[in-house]
Amino acid sequence: MKVAVDLGLCQGYGNCVSAAPDFFDLDDSGQAVVLQAAAETDEEIALVRAAAPMCPMGAISLND
């Protein structure tokens, strides 16, 4: 599963970092960055699926 952040939508709330710190971080400007571009195991997929709706701006996209 591919993981991406739309930087045009990201407001740097950091919910994604709290939910999935192995996949997301905030850069120096306060926007989310993807640390791992793909979730491969069932555990990783469940983690990013749980993190995506936690973004109040809907900036996280997941593609199979």
Q: Which domain holds residue 48?
A: 2-63
Query: What CATH number did the domain enclosing 20 receive?
Result: 3.30.70.20
* Cβ-based neighbours of 56, under 8 Å, separated by 6 or more: 11, 13, 15
Report how many domains make up the chain.
1
SS3 state at 59: coil
pLDDT of residue 63: 96
pLDDT at 36: 96
64 residues of the chain, pLDDT tens digit each: 999 999 999 999 999 999 999 999 999 999 999 999 999 999 999 999 999 999 999 999 999 8
| pLDDT reported for residue 43 | 97
Phi/psi of residue 42, nearest 5 degrees: -60, -40
- Say what the pTM is: 0.92
pLDDT recorded at residue 1: 97
Query: Mind spelling out the 3-state secondary structure of 3-36?
Result: EEECCCCCCCCCHHHHHCCCCEEECCCCCEEECC
Distance between alpha carbon 2 and the CA centroid of its chain, in Å?
10
